[in-house]
Structure 1
Amino acid sequence: MATKRWWVLGCVVLVVAASALAVAQLRKRDFQAICDGAVRGGSLRYAIGDGGIKASDVDELDSELPFGRLSECRASAEDDSTGLTVAVGNLESSSLMSELSGHRDLTGLSGTSAPMGGGWPGVLTVKNKDIAYATVVLKCGRSAPHEGILVNVKQMLVEGEGNFSSDKRKRLKLAQSGAAIASDVSKKWECGSQLGGEVDRAPDDVAVNKPLPLSQATGTCRAMRPLAATAKKWGITRAASTGSDSRAPAQDCVLSNSKGDRVYRLSALYGPLEAGFRKSSSSLFQVSGKAGRKEKNPGWAWAGAKCPDGSDAALFTASSIEHSKENKRLIVGAEFETKMLGAFARDLGGRRGCDDPSLPTG
């Protein structure tokens, strides 16, 4: 009798397991690609995971891209632990895409970027512990319908479901989803772009990376090495960087004082993100002309450069960062600020083949 009960129980377990497997397979098999049929379920699963997915296209009436829109869609885990918002636009969307990708503000620690990796022309940008973006700039072939396509994937985590700054795996999975979605988009809109390969390493979060002595700075900050002695006079002693990737459309270097306070941010934007930041009416601290400096309230300067084939440009910025409870800012002399900005711009721009930057005068 006992044997029969165990046999019945075993059959029930097998039936339940088989049913669960069938449901899971059905979910995967029945998933309807979103963003006008471009984005596959497998591309979303890197970031969302293996559970059920709720997904839909975004109606034009609810669009965040009134200009240059190709498609928008949303997807979330069935338990609502995380969600993705995908925006796809042509080059006319650049001003809005620079905002949607977290590049509206280059003056603080929110929205610093690191190369996506894998040879992709993209970055991962961390806004805060719960929100991050994977952004890819696709340069299309000559016969393609569009000159270029911008792909932005925003991920939001529910409180308690992870932390983008401290969890490398979360950053890696978002970068992998961003790369896969960009590949889907390139195929759908016949872009013919040079795509990257496998993303197998988590992008950095420069805002929390451990700073190195300025004389040993690496990656995006390596141009600060020769300035270490002079920088020390202004209280700048260390630098936090990311790896330098000539295909990344945004780059950052964060400088610190001897107390560990982050006091200055050096940033670079290229191509559509550069154009978008310049055109955006919501960008904090506007930039105009080839170069300039905020004179009345020092701590903001910018420089521009032309880049290969004449169609792209670069924008380099230097901004003091509020630190301490009193919201203090480090203000350095105009001459030294120009030296920092110039060294940063010549190094990173030079790796992309850009011309020497136009720097602020006076």
Structure 2
Amino acid sequence: MALIPRPLTRRRLRTLGAVAPALAALAGVIVWFAGSEERALDEACDGVLPVSDVRAVLGDDDTDVTNHTEGSFDGGGGSERGNSLSVRCEVKTESGGSLTVTIAGSPRPSSEYGNGELYAALPSRDTLPVPLGHGWAGLFATDSARLGDGEDGEATTAVLLPCAKGGDSLLITVDTALGREVTLDDPANRPDFVRTATATAEAANEHWDCGARLGTPVRDVDLPVNEDEYEPLIGARGTCAGVPTASRSAVSTARETAREGAPREICALGARDGSPRYRLEAYYGPYAEDARSQFTRDYDYENVTPAEKAAGRLGKSAYWAGATCPEGAESALYLIRADDADGDARRSPDLAYERAALKAFATRSAGHHGCAAPSLPGG
């Protein structure tokens, strides 16, 4: 038998009238809580974190967002007081993915020198960071690039924005963790570790009126270079190009990366079996500033450090050189240091070779970056 609906009495109408606003209010609460997560992402890192790119990388899981901003960015061409801007935000998902973003203005106030790292560090001990290319002054780095290692799903991307007026810059560094199920060995995955950094850089460039030239989307990026990826030094074409071999120091192999305008460059020199001997490093912009600041802190027992002089010798087996770079940028810094595990180079340093290797490395790097001929250490 069909049910006949009862007519709506005044009492039932009053009841429905009371329930409807309550349901609407509840719906509003649900919408507010759902929207608050997106608002937190919108406001993260002073509003320059690209939400669509974050979601594309981390997925649609619930997120926990932390955010901290302090200081200011002058952007006026090398303020004597420095740029105190320091931004940090972190996004974590329930599935274990995360992004940690730092944005720092350069140069830093002189009061910060020697007190600790001025900028976010890049993994570079066991692997060599590779340049981003595609028109970006940036780097892609990992603690380990070996398939299946615990850090296989983790990487760091750094993007430097040299501002149009010269002297000031913004450094964006993004640590991305996507879990071990996402291997860096698959070239199709690697752009996901980069896209948040480049998109954040684009937004930061506009937000702080930097006016830097931007690159194009990074659709492919090389793996950082592992310790066992050494090749003959003769014939090197990247960051080790032109560096001589040495019979006394048993230097005949190299690990290198392409040289594509990255703000840090490394050439690792080794013996025939790849065992380490020396490491050549070039620092530009904020990385040069940071390195000099750390020498002030860690080598205060030395008479002179790279913070006080353009070129010189540091310790028993280390030399540095410097070069003036265009548009008011921080002077570049070049180093050669003994890198051998058993200490042969430290115990019996081949000083003539160290100076020759540093000269070749610094001269090529400076020329590629449009800097002046480097000041070199004497004998």
Please tell me the TM-score bracket, short chain as reference. Answer: 0.7 to 0.9
CA distance in 1, matches of 2:174, 2:117: 11
Matched, 1:58 2:68: yes
Contact map agreement 1:116 1:123 (CA 8 A) in 2: yes
- Structure 1 gaps of 5+ residues are 1-24
Once the two structures are superposed, what CA deviation does each residue of 1:304-361 show, in whole Å capped at 9, x if it has no partner?
11112343311011122243xxx44534411100000000000111112211211121
Percent identity (aligned): 26
CA distance in 1, matches of 2:103, 2:363: 32
Once the two structures are superposed, what CA deviation does each residue of 1:246-305 show, in whole Å capped at 9, x if it has no partner?
2x111111112112213221110112221122123687655341112234xx23221111
Which of 200, 213, 218 pairs up with 1:199? 218
Q: Which has the higher helix share?
A: 1
Matched, 1:48 2:90: no
Report the equivalent of 1:243.
258
CA distance in 2, matches of 1:170, 1:284: 38
SS at match of 1:342: helix
For 1:1-362, list aligned pairs within 5 A.
31-45=41-55, 47-49=57-59, 51-58=61-68, 68-79=84-95, 81-93=96-108, 98-102=118-122, 109-110=125-126, 112-128=128-144, 130=151, 132-142=155-165, 147-156=168-177, 160=180, 168=187, 171-208=190-227, 210-224=229-243, 227-228=244-245, 231-246=246-261, 248-280=262-294, 287-288=306-307, 289-295=309-315, 298-323=316-341, 327-331=342-346, 332-362=349-379
The change in CA–CA distance for 1:315 and 1:45 in structure 2 (over 3 A counts) is: farther
Read off the aligned partner of 1:32 and give its amino acid letter. D
The change in CA–CA distance for 1:88 and 1:168 in structure 2 (over 3 A counts) is: same
CA distance in 1, matches of 2:186, 2:263: 23
Deviation at 1:140, TM superposition (A): 2.0
Larger radius of gyration: 2
The change in CA–CA distance for 1:333 and 1:281 in structure 2 (over 3 A counts) is: closer
Report the equivalent of 2:21.
none
Deviation at 1:54, TM superposition (A): 2.8
Contact map agreement 1:133 1:152 (CA 8 A) in 2: yes
Once the two structures are superposed, what CA deviation does each residue of 1:112-167 show, in whole Å capped at 9, x if it has no partner?
4321221111112334463542222212234x9x9322212123566x45666x56
CA distance in 2, matches of 1:284, 1:46: 42
The change in CA–CA distance for 1:281 and 1:353 in structure 2 (over 3 A counts) is: closer
Read off the aligned partner of 2:99 and give its amino acid letter. L
Contact map agreement 1:253 1:266 (CA 8 A) in 2: yes
CA distance in 2, matches of 1:209, 1:243: 17
Contact map agreement 2:106 2:168 (CA 8 A) in 1: yes
Deviation at 1:189, TM superposition (A): 1.7
CA distance in 2, matches of 1:256, 1:338: 17
The change in CA–CA distance for 1:100 and 1:70 in structure 2 (over 3 A counts) is: closer
TM-score by length of 1: 0.75
SS at match of 1:100: coil
The change in CA–CA distance for 1:52 and 1:117 in structure 2 (over 3 A counts) is: farther
CA distance in 1, matches of 2:54, 2:296: 30
CA distance in 1, matches of 2:215, 2:228: 25
CA distance in 2, matches of 1:50, 1:328: 51
CA distance in 2, matches of 1:329, 1:179: 42
SS at match of 2:136: coil
Contact map agreement 2:232 2:253 (CA 8 A) in 1: yes
The change in CA–CA distance for 1:90 and 1:307 in structure 2 (over 3 A counts) is: same
Contact map agreement 1:175 1:203 (CA 8 A) in 2: no
* RMSD value, Cα: 3.3
CA distance in 2, matches of 1:29, 1:89: 24
- Structure 2 gaps of 5+ residues are 1-33, 72-81, 146-150, 300-304
Deviation at 1:221, TM superposition (A): 1.0
CA distance in 2, matches of 1:262, 1:33: 46
Deviation at 1:199, TM superposition (A): 0.8
